[in-house]
């Protein structure tokens, strides 16, 4: 079991605070394991097993508790009257009106509540209204390269580990599978559950093929500027007529299911967000490889995708930058500080180096600027712009 240190520290920080801890993230990214790690921590620090209630609604053994009234009754009867009870409700979106149960348990004395969900939709509507200001969200992603690398033998080079990571992605359970077919079957199971169970069923879709066409388009255009109109026009030209509102609705569902992440564009000169076009990135690069099986992937965009996810993991709000007619891969903001990033496979060619540095050199503020590449060279500086090897940066 890989100790997800950063997420474990986040959840420990809110222990016993009068807030509902909500862990969100794509299916199989490790939310249930995080609960197990935290429960182990509780027991090691003096909490009795009888003080912990753990229910995973993916387990058919708890199917009878998907009625929110029955769930409330079951938990109420198990509460410890003299000591705090730690309540863990995993994949709670399976319980209709679960927010009523959570709210009723929250107002009881000596309860500390932790819930997970694999779809952002469950955090909208009544839950957001009913529990406004009373919950904290911990956004979870699959394994970072640093976590992934730590699970592999030390005698494997970082470069080889990274090559494997870019092919397989970061779903933790994949590290326990040995053959390629088993890994493909596992990824197919995740994909089908998200598409058929989380999106198609909720939206009552009768034609899933249009949704899948949109998914393939989005996965094939990671790191490219796009818009619902562009997607609609492209698919229509391929003979799959689909309206712009339909595209917008489906893309929204893909974001809600955490299979995609959206990076809005920011105009550095005008100091404003741009409404036209943005970039999308996949939450797991291995899932993209599975969907685009047989298609040639853009490795440069895959690496850009990995950098984007790493910035998100490190707590940054990330935008795609624009200055005049030039593009900055990422503007990362955190705690009032701003950082600029360019990502490139290689800048050994002087023309490529000049092209990558040009937008960063146009920025006149003194915020830190970075050029991340796969070139195996020591860290260097170009007029204050730090060039760092991507693998070194990911492991730092």
Q: Tens digits of per-residue pLDDT, 98-109? A: 989 999 999 999
pLDDT of 294 reads 67
**Shortest CA distance to 318 belongs to which of 305, 303, 302?**
305
**Shortest CA distance to 165 belongs to which of 181, 144, 180, 191?**
144
Residue located via tokens 């999308």: 280
Question: What's the whole-number mean pLDDT along residues 40-50?
Answer: 97
Residue range 214-223, pLDDT digits in tens? 999 999 999 9
Which pLDDT band, with edges at 50, 70 and 90, does 197 fall under? confident
CB 211 within 8 A of CB 205: yes
The winner for highest mean pLDDT among 70-74, 121-125, 288-292 is 70-74
pLDDT of 126 reads 61
The pTM is what?
Answer: 0.94
**Shortest CA distance to 117 belongs to which of 27, 207, 11, 194?**
27
Three-class DSSP category at 109: coil
Token representation of residue 356: 């990558």
Residue range 307-327, pLDDT digits in tens? 999 999 999 999 999 999 999
pLDDT of 393 reads 98
Sheet holding 380-382, edge to edge: 272-282, 260-267, 317-323, 326-334, 337-344, 369-373, 385-389, 380-382
Q: Which residue did the predictor score with more confidence, 329 or 294? A: 329
Instruction: Decide if pLDDT at 124 tops 80.
Output: no
Which pLDDT band, with edges at 50, 70 and 90, does 165 fall under? very high
Q: What whole-number distance in Å separates Cα of residue 231 and Cα of residue 248? A: 9
Instruction: Decide if pLDDT at 125 tops 80.
Output: no
CB 171 within 8 A of CB 144: no
């Amino acid at each position: 079991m890989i100790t997800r240190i950063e997420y474990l520290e986040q959840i420990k920080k809110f222990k016993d605070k009068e807030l509902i801890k909500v862990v969100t993230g794509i299916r199989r990214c490790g939310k249930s394991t995080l609960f197990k790690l935290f429960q182990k921590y509780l027991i090691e620090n003096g909490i009795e097993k009888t003080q912990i209630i753990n229910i995973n609604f993916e387990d058919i053994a708890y199917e009878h508790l998907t009625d929110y009234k029955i769930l409330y009754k079951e938990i109420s009867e198990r509460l410890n009257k003299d000591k705090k009870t730690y309540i863990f409700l995993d994949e709670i979106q399976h319980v209709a009106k679960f927010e009523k149960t959570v709210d009723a348990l929250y107002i009881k004395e000596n309860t500390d509540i932790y819930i997970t969900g694999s779809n952002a939709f469950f955090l909208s509507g009544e839950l957001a209204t009913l529990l406004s200001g009373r919950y904290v969200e911990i956004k979870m992603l699959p394994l970072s390269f640093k976590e992934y690398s730590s699970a592999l033998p030390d005698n494997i080079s970082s470069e080889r580990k990274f090559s494997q990571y870019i092919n397989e992605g970061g779903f933790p359970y994949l590290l326990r599978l040995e053959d390629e077919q088993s890994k493909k079957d596992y990824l197919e199971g995740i994909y089908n559950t998200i598409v058929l169970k989380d999106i198609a069923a909720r939206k009552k879709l009768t034609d899933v093929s249009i949704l899948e066409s949109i998914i393939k388009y989005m996965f094939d255009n990671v790191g490219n500027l796009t818009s619902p109109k562009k997607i609609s026009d492209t698919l229509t030209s391929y003979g799959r007529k689909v309206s712009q509102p339909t595209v917008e609705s489906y893309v929204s569902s893909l974001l809600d299911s955490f299979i995609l992440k959206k990076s809005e564009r920011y105009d550095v000169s005008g100091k404003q967000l741009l409404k036209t076009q943005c970039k999308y990135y996949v939450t797991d690069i291995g899932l993209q490889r599975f969907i685009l099986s047989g298609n040639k992937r853009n490795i440069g965009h895959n690496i850009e995708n990995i950098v984007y996810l790493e910035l998100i993991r490190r707590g940054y709000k990330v935008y795609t930058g624009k200055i005049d007619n030039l593009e900055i891969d990422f503007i990362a903001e955190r705690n009032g500080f701003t950082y600029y990033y360019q990502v490139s496979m290689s800048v050994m060619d002087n023309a490529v180096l000049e092209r990558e540095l040009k937008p960063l050199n146009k920025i006149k503020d003194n915020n830190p600027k970075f050029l991340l590449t796969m070139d195996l060279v020591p860290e260097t500086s170009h007029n204050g712009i730090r060039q760092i090897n991507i693998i070194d940066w990911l492991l730092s």
